[in-house]
Structure formats: structure tokens, C-alpha cells
Structure 1
Amino acid sequence: MDTDKRKTRRTAANNDEARAPDTFGAAPRSVDGLRELAVRIGRDEAGLSLGGKAHTVLARLLERPEEVAVRTITDLATALDVNASTLTRLSTKLGYAGFADFQSVFRDSLAQRHRHFYTHQAERLVTHKKARARTRVDDGASPEVEVVAKLARESIGNVETFLARLSAADLRGAAALLADAPRVRVHGVRQFSALAGFLCYGLGMIRTDVALLDAQGIGVAQGLAHLQPGDVVVVSSVAPYTRSVAEAAVVAAGAGMTVIAITDTLASPLVPPARHAFLIPHESSFFSNSMGAYLIFCEGLLNLVAAHLGKRGLQALSRRERLITALERD
């Protein structure tokens, strides 16, 4: 009997060791900690073996932390082409109480990042400047020019990323909607109010009844009240998302308007209510959200709308030119 008990205790201990995510403590409570654990598991340094498939799934989850934070287990399993039970087993194998506990790590990390987004970006800029000052060699490069060149290279990278995942069907659908809808309203706040103004101005050159959703500052509800089902509302916001823009998108879709979203990731709250969502990255050393790729995307979208309008767009531009000439002559 004593021998059986000792065997049982040893088996339990071995099982606990197999489940332990970290030989030095509990399951990681940060995404960075999870990344470190994944690396140690790959090197066989964590006292835990996941198996090749499970380790690959973990790595793919860590590549898309924003999606893991907000999507359901079913959606994530479908995206990864695995069963939902695979994600549950992975979570418990890593030492979490279940998938919800595992997901909470990503949600907490996302919330923390959003709370301190601008400070974090500025800190990166200052840290880079100090590091260059410590290691600088006389390579003939101006540090001022380097700052601008670095941002340009980062914007090029963002453009290449969004080009790689653009959907031709979404582009055609959005261009047709923006050309043919009775009314178009564009909404963005803070930094993205500038993008909304640019898109609104461009559309207004080639068609009528285009405006900012809250152009007169009388409220989004008032702006939506002037629209009807079949009208189009374009919304734009990126992490850290502006709640009021996301709410406007949900309300507009619920009222029968068609929503087009220009945002950053599938985790964006602007994606669910949108018929067409365009994902544009904004990763850069700029202390706020980088706008370069967004402006290029909007220029491309405006060209597609103009091409769809054809003769109608040319007539609108011609009328505009006549009015400008008349005003200059006066």
C-alpha cells in the first residue's frame, strides 16, 4: 500500500512538472513573458515540451497579439486551422486555468499599451537618440537627415505591408459605394480628423453630397440623423482607438448605413460593423501614429472612385474648375 502511494505521488509530481510552464514560477502574465517562454521551449530549456504542432500554434498566436486579445476562441481556431480544443489544451499545458485565463494576458497587455501609447513612442525616440550618441561614428550622415530618412523607410515598409494584404474585391466594392451612394460622410477625430478632411476634400472634387460627419461640431448623432439607409459612412481610427469613432460605426451600421473602415488590424473595433475594412499599419519611430501609408492608401482609393465615376467625375471636376476661374477673375 505504501509503495502504491509513493508511486501515485511520484506520478502526480511528474505530471505537475510536465504541466509547469516555467521551471522558475507560474504561467507568464505578460505577452513578453510568453514570448520568452516560447523561445525557451523551442530550445528545450523550459522543462516543458509542447510538441511541434502546439509550439507552432503558440508562435502564431504571439505573432497576432491584438487578435488574440479580442477574438473568440472559435474565430482564432478557424484562423489557425485548428480545433478550439487545441487552444484550450495549449492554455492548460502552459499553466493557465483555461483559454480565458490565457487570453486575459493578451487583453491586459493590449490595454496597457493603449494607455501609454504616445509616451511609449516618444520614449523609443529618445532612447534611439541616446543610443546613437553613444555609438556614433563619423560616417558623414547628418543625424537630422537620418531621423527623416528613418521615418521614410518605415513608411515604405508600412505601404509594402498593406499592399501585400489588399483585397481587390474590397477595393472595387468600396470604390463603387463611394461613387454611387446618395450621401457620403467621413469621420475621424484627433489626428485622424486630418485624414478624414483629406478624404472628404478629394471625394468632394469628383462627386456631390460629401461631408465630414460632424462638420459643424453639432454632434455625431445629428450628423447620422441626416443620413438614410444606403448612405455611406467612412470611419478611421487606430490603436489606441477612439471609442466614439467605434461607437459611431456601430450605430451607423445598425441604422442601415454602409460602413467602410480604414484602420490598422483585425482586432480594431471598427472592423465588425464595416462592410469593407482596410488594414493599414502605422509602425514607426514617430511619436504618434504614422500617417504616411494612410495618405497613400486614400490617394489610391480616390483614384479608384474617380475611375468608377468616369464621365460623372470629369464633369464634376470641370464644373469645379469653372467656378475657381470665375472666382479668380472676380
Structure 2
Amino acid sequence: MTPPAYRRPETLGDLEQLLTDIEGGEGPVRLGKRSRHVLTALVTAPQQAAVSSISDLAERLGVSPSTLSRLAQRLGFDGFAGLQAVFRRNVTEGKSFYSDQVSRLLDGEGDNDDHHARLSRLGRQESANIDDMVTGIDGEVFVRAAELLVEARRVRVHGMRQFASLASFMAYGLGMLRPDVSPLDAARHGVADALAQLDEGDVLVVASCFPYTPSVLATAEAAARQGIHVIALTDSRGSPLAKVARYSFPVPNHSLFFSNSMCAFMLLVEGLLSEAANRLGDAGLAALKRRESLIGELDASL
């Protein structure tokens, strides 16, 4: 039973906040480990939760339909249809992700004057994101993706908005180890022109999470049709990017931050770059030494 003062979630933001509270041990509803896992999967893939039948969702999540029904009831709904309606409203109406995040932060915390408590809580949430990301990594997929980053003739990295900084960081780091790596549209001539310079077997790394940037998805789909190997850094296995990628990595990003949390994404990129450096061995070391020599030469002359 839910407590008398409990107000059932009406939006995706409400569900995200409830999940954050539950994971922090502060939620008004108590859920077991399996129920928390199921709720996390639904929240991180809202489109899938909105359009799939209860049977299909249960099969994907490895649970019985009755588990989904019981979860919905624990959250205050009469049945799963009520919970699914929250996801369906989000898909059909939701274009206010960022403002919803800020409203959630301002309205429901109760510790607006305790800056350190808020920072500490954010730190705990980010630590949980990182732990869940590392635990969920498929080791074989991780190694194969790193091999592609090392062996492909060309590697391009693409992200928009805040993921543009992630793409720049990854391209810079991999470019320290091997040639012909850059953000996809580094010359600002347009994505179509940039994709036209890639051949079958080249690699495109794309990064985005809910609310997914349509142009990034379209770019990934076009690249895959051209035989370019797509590696996706995204938020769930149900992400539309994961569906077109050769290899994809689900990265949890539940936190109080008003936009998409980036900490676990950054760690994943650092991990892939470290694995690439390990696989390059002496060749990567030589590239770094050449770079250091050039830095020293230019510093002396400027």
C-alpha cells in the first residue's frame, strides 16, 4: 500500500524524481531491487514504454506481466494502463524536458538553502549512475568497440548541444593516439558533406539521450545505411540510436541536474580511450611522444 500523503506520479519528470528518491532511500514508496530495475528501464526508454504491450515489455525486461501490474499498483495506479499513460503523454506532449527538470529541482527538494546537502546528494546520484553503467557494460562489446576505434581507417565523433563537448573530448583524446580522427563536422561544411568523406568500414561514434536530438539520429541512420560502423553512447538499450548501432552502451543518467547528466558518459569515453591506448601499445606511445616533441618545439618558438 502507498502512504496516505503520497501523490502518484503524473509526468515522466515525476517518475524520474520518484526513482531518484527511492534510490537515495528517501522515497515515499518502497520498491524491491527487481521493481527498481524495471522502473529504471521504463523511465530510461519512455518511447518503448509508451508503445509496447505489457507482454512485449515484460519479455524485454525478463519479468512477468504481473510484475509490471504490481509495480503500477505500488505507484498508485489501478493497473499498468495507468502507468503506461504517463509515458504516452510524455511522447505525445513532452517537449519541455529541461524546464521540467528545473521545476522538479525547485519544487520538491525541501533543502533549497542547504547547498552542501544538494551537492552531496548529486554526488551520490552520479556515483550510482557510474556504478550502474560499469556493471552493465558487456565486456565483449566494450573490447570490440575499442578495436574498431583503433583499426578503422577513419573515426568521426558526433554529438549536439552538450554532447558536442563530449564528442570534442573523445575526438581529441583518440586523435592523440592515432591519425584521422575528428568531430564529424569539424570544418562546419555540413553533416552530409562530412559523411560523404567516410567509406564503408569507417567508424562514426554518436552520443545522445532522451530527449534525443533528431538530427543525430538521422545522421546515425544515414551512416549505417552507407556501411559505416556506428557506435552509440546513449541512455538505454531501447534508445533509437541503439537500434541502428553496431555497438551501443547504455549510460544511466538519473540526477538532480537540470539537463542530461554527463558524468557516467565521460567515464565511459575515458574507458574506451584507455582501452584503445592499451591496444595500440607502442604505436600509441610513439604518437604521444611525437606530440610532446612538437609541443616542446612550438612552445620554444612562440
**TM-score normalized by structure 1?**
0.70
- Within 5 A, what are the aligned runs for 1:22-37? none
Task: Give the structure with higher Rg (CA).
Answer: 1
Tell me how far apart the structure 2 counterparts of residues 185 and 77 of structure 1 sit (CA, whole Å). 37
CA contact 2:111–2:118 (8 Å) conserved in 1: no
* Distance apart, 1:148 and its partner CA: 2.6
| Per-residue Cα deviation, 1:34-56 (whole angstroms, up to 9, x for no partner) | x9xxxxxxxxxxxxxxxxxxxxx
- Equivalence for 1:153: 124
- Equivalence for 1:132: 111
Matched residues, percent identical?
Answer: 42
* Distance apart, 1:312 and its partner CA: 1.2
- Equivalence for 2:90: 109
Tell me how far apart the structure 1 counterparts of residues 37 and 119 of structure 2 sit (CA, whole Å). 33
Aligned amino acid, residue 184 of structure 2: L
Matched, 1:275 2:246: yes
Matched, 1:235 2:216: no
1:284 aligned counterpart, secondary structure: coil
Q: 2:103 aligns with which of 113, 123, 126?
A: 123
* Distance apart, 1:60 and its partner CA: 7.9
- Equivalence for 1:45: none
| Per-residue Cα deviation, 1:214-240 (whole angstroms, up to 9, x for no partner) | 112211111100000000000000111
| Per-residue Cα deviation, 1:87-125 (whole angstroms, up to 9, x for no partner) | 9xxxxxx899xx9x996663333444x411111111122
- Structure 1: 5+ residue stretches without partners: 1-27, 36-56, 88-93, 137-142
* Distance apart, 1:325 and its partner CA: 0.9
Distance 1:173 1:95, change over 3 A: closer
Q: 2:232 aligns with which of 254, 261, 265?
A: 261
Name the Cα RMSD after superposition: 3.3
CA contact 2:157–2:170 (8 Å) conserved in 1: yes
**TM-score normalized by structure 2?**
0.76
- Equivalence for 2:143: 172
Matched, 1:310 2:281: yes
CA contact 2:147–2:279 (8 Å) conserved in 1: yes
- Equivalence for 1:11: none
* Distance apart, 1:80 and its partner CA: 4.4
Tell me how far apart the structure 1 counterparts of residues 213 and 293 of structure 2 sit (CA, whole Å). 40
Aligned amino acid, residue 98 of structure 2: Y
Tell me how far apart the structure 1 counterparts of residues 248 and 199 of structure 2 sit (CA, whole Å). 21
* Distance apart, 1:268 and its partner CA: 1.5
- Equivalence for 1:250: 221
CA contact 1:238–1:268 (8 Å) conserved in 2: yes
Distance 1:175 1:128, change over 3 A: same
Distance 1:294 1:29, change over 3 A: closer
Tell me how far apart the structure 2 counterparts of residues 273 and 222 of structure 1 sit (CA, whole Å). 21
Matched, 1:293 2:293: no
1:162 aligned counterpart, secondary structure: helix
Query: How many residue pairs get matched?
Result: 263
| Per-residue Cα deviation, 1:233-292 (whole angstroms, up to 9, x for no partner) | 000001111000011111100100000000101232111111111111111111111111
Aligned amino acid, residue 124 of structure 1: R
